[in-house]
Amino acid sequence: MTAARTGLLAGKQVRRLGFGTMRLTGPGIWGPPASEAEAVQLLRKAVELGVQHIDTADAYGPNVAEGLIRKALFPYADDLIIATKGGFTRQGPGKWTPCGVPAYLRQCVEMSLRQLNVEAIDLYYLHRVDPKVPLADQVGELEQMRQEGKIKCLGLSKVDIPQITQAIAIAPIAAVQNQFSILDNQSEDVIRWCEQNEIAFIPYAPLSAGRYFSTGEVRGQSASATHALKWLLNYSPVMFPIPGTSRVEHLEENLRSDIEG
């Protein structure tokens, strides 16, 4: 790997192009995938192709994606970062409600430890800030669990600079995960702030949830995806895209984005 293909995330030098697992579930990010065997095969293929950063969440399924990761990849390679998130409740397909009550966040962490079968989570995000709970209480509980050794590094998702600044006064923040893509640059100020403060930025929906594809033809989609991922990797050295897919051929195309000139 060249320096341009790698970066520092959660204390490890890893390939910047990772893999997101949200699509390894049923419709509406609810329930199991159509084929668990294919999902397991896809995860193993991703690591075989050099992925060192896998992003997931307890809400994916819920409790489906984390279990698939454990089944596919445990025992985990030393150079693999598994990042997960907590702070949502699920009421059904496509339904999400933030819950930042400290006791619930502690439960989320404990359940993810069990689902992934680890003693400490490499990178744990507050999946969404709960507007009904003081941010200091939410981050403070996660920081307490970091100090207890249950979490190695902390991250935040869908946040602005004032929220990041408030969180950093309470706990060290290793990564920020906001929506960002070639079609959505609303987090540009956050990215520049992350660059200045040496914090990793993980763009979710890096392929604009499919909106960037101009045709329904698979090869056309693959070419568009590769272009969009190259654009992200070139946009900032702190950028760690996590494109997801449920198909091996799309995985292989995506992972060529940091190889082809």
Q: Indicate which residues carry an active-site annotation.
A: 60
- Regarding beta strands 12-15 and 200-204, do their DSSP bridges make them parallel or antiparallel, or are they unpaired? unpaired
Element of type H or E holding 233:
helix 218-235
Rounded CA-CA distance 151/51 in Å is 21
Q: Which residue has the tokens 């693959």?
A: 222
Q: Could you tell me the two tokens for 60?
A: 């994916």
Rounded CA-CA distance 2/47 in Å is 18
> Positive or negative, the Cα torsion across 208, 211, 213, 214?
negative
Identify whether the C-beta of residue 201 lies closer than 8 Å to the C-beta of residue 190. Answer: yes
Provide the strand spans (E) within the chain. Answer: 6-9, 12-15, 19-20, 53-55, 81-86, 88-92, 95-98, 121-126, 151-157, 173-179, 200-204
